[in-house]
Amino acid sequence: MLLKSAVAGIAWPALPDLPAAQRMALLWQFEQSERWPADVLQHHQLQQLALVIDHARRTVPFYRDRLKAAVRGEALTLPQLRALPLLTRRDIQDAGPALLSTAIPPQFGPVHENRTSGATGQPVQVSRTGLDALLWQVNTVRDHYWHQRDQSLKFAAIRALGPGIADAPQGITASGWGAASEALRVTGPSALLSLNADIAVQAAWIKRHAPGYLLTYPSNLAALLAHFAQQGEQLPGLRAVLTVGETVSPALRAACRDSLGVDIEDTYSSQELGYIALQCPVSGQYHVMAESVLVEVLDAAGNPCAPGETGRLVVSSLHNYATPLIRYELHDHAVAGTACVCGRTLPTLARIAGRERNMLRLPDGSTHWPLVGFHRFRDIAPVRQYQLIQHTLQSVEVRLACDRALTVAEEAQLGEVICAALGYAFELRFAYFERELPRAANGKFEEFVCAIP
């Protein structure tokens, strides 16, 4: 890798500035720790998590009684960790400000809020610091290095964005791949498009930019592949498709290879936790980002799953001193992995069975990935969980689990937000549930379901 020098007149060897030096130092450490013996890696994880637990017990009102019996000091063991209660999305909703530390260390950088719907349609809000953002960026670069991506090529992304950001048909462009990569080296340009664009518009935008790499969501990719196949079109110059946010099926991987001649390179992350796992470029398994998170795969009884067994994912953040997430249950499931042939000793997940999402269909025949406006739900009414079901081209059922019955005015406000986010004045029918919305027969939950035959 040819580093970018921060000193004028010095091109080689590069002299990086402080932010770049920090990223390089972390990357160097990650290159060592990803090949440590498993017991050494786990020891360092537990040592760091013990510090977070101690901080949470002292400075976070929610945890003061909850962690009273937890081990003190740096002698945390895995059995002791597993004795701690799970943190649920409902816990986060109920706790509100009580889950925020009253003494966030200033050396961790600025605090920012993240609002997310998560895999079960339950909006939550957590705070993270500049350190979390730094680790996010370093793991982004790690993913590029693992897959040996040519960063001189154009990078294009189609993502869920706020209203008025990178709208179709133009989107927006930039001179580099973003802060994570540009801190270390000169990259090729990038382009960004909002996910609310029609699939045909997205396809034309991709062809116009002719990127070397494309990032989007699996369900959106599936619709794009169907469009390209129907039109008999190819994307010459494309090296790989990067996916985020949803489950990638074997069928989708095969369709991508057949249609575009490239592989899918997936990542598993969440707004609350950052990167959780990266797909291995050798085996296809997912390596846990063990320097940032401690991941447990548990069976129905709460016991660790053996390799090949499917269980629920419970994740602890190792560095969030703003909103400590200790044994946070994501409501995603994964298959516990095996030792990887690549030689990296990071824990593995063989497969992730997380969130899926259908495509919204509009009366004019267009389809797009649905944005449902959930970021504003809790500002309007005490919505704990939501699900949208499209029954016809003109009507959508809004299923809500709430703390109380909503007023007519609150329903009207929610309706305005939902229709604006979906991009059409649908006829909305509200249905209310007492505690939790029902899951499908297979146990999965989808935030948006298109039930049109």
Render pLDDT for 210-234 as a digit per residue (tens, 0 to 9). Answer: 999 999 988 889 889 988 988 999 9
Render pLDDT for 399-408 as a digit per residue (tens, 0 to 9). Answer: 998 888 899 9
Distances, alpha carbon 144 to alpha carbons 14, 17, 178, 282, in Å: 20, 21, 12, 14
The SS3 call for residue 243 is strand
> In what helix (H) or strand (E) does residue 449 lie, and over which residues does it extend?
strand 448-450
Task: Give the C-alpha separation, 115 to 63, whole Å.
Answer: 21
pLDDT greater at residue 3 or residue 431: 431
Q: Which of 119-128, 271-280, 325-334 has the highest mean pLDDT?
A: 271-280
**Cβ–Cβ < 8 Å for 422, 432:** no
Task: Give the C-alpha separation, 17 to 29, whole Å.
Answer: 18
Q: Is the pLDDT score of 123 beyond 60?
A: yes
Q: Residue for token digits 């498993």?
A: 38
Render pLDDT for 17-54 as a digit per residue (tens, 0 to 9). Answer: 999 999 999 999 999 999 999 999 999 999 999 999 99
Question: What's the rounded mean pLDDT across residues 344-357?
Answer: 84
Q: Which amino acid is at 24?
A: M
Sign of CA dihedral 320, 324, 327, 332: negative
**Cβ–Cβ < 8 Å for 352, 332:** yes
Q: Which amino acid is at 97?
A: P
Task: Give the C-alpha separation, 47 to 76, whole Å.
Answer: 7
Q: 402 has which bridge partners?
A: 383
pLDDT of residue 354: 63
If you compute the radius of gyration of the chain from its CA atoms, what whole number of angstroms results? 22
The SS3 call for residue 172 is strand
pTM over 0.85: no
**Cβ–Cβ < 8 Å for 138, 130:** no
Confidence grade of residue 107 (pLDDT, cut at 50, 70, 90): very high
Confidence grade of residue 441 (pLDDT, cut at 50, 70, 90): low
Sign of CA dihedral 395, 401, 405, 406: negative
Confidence grade of residue 356 (pLDDT, cut at 50, 70, 90): low
Give Cα 45 to chain centroid, integer Å.
21
Question: What's the rounded mean pLDDT across residues 255-262?
Answer: 94
**What phi and psi values does residue 178 have, to the nearest 5 degrees?**
115, 170
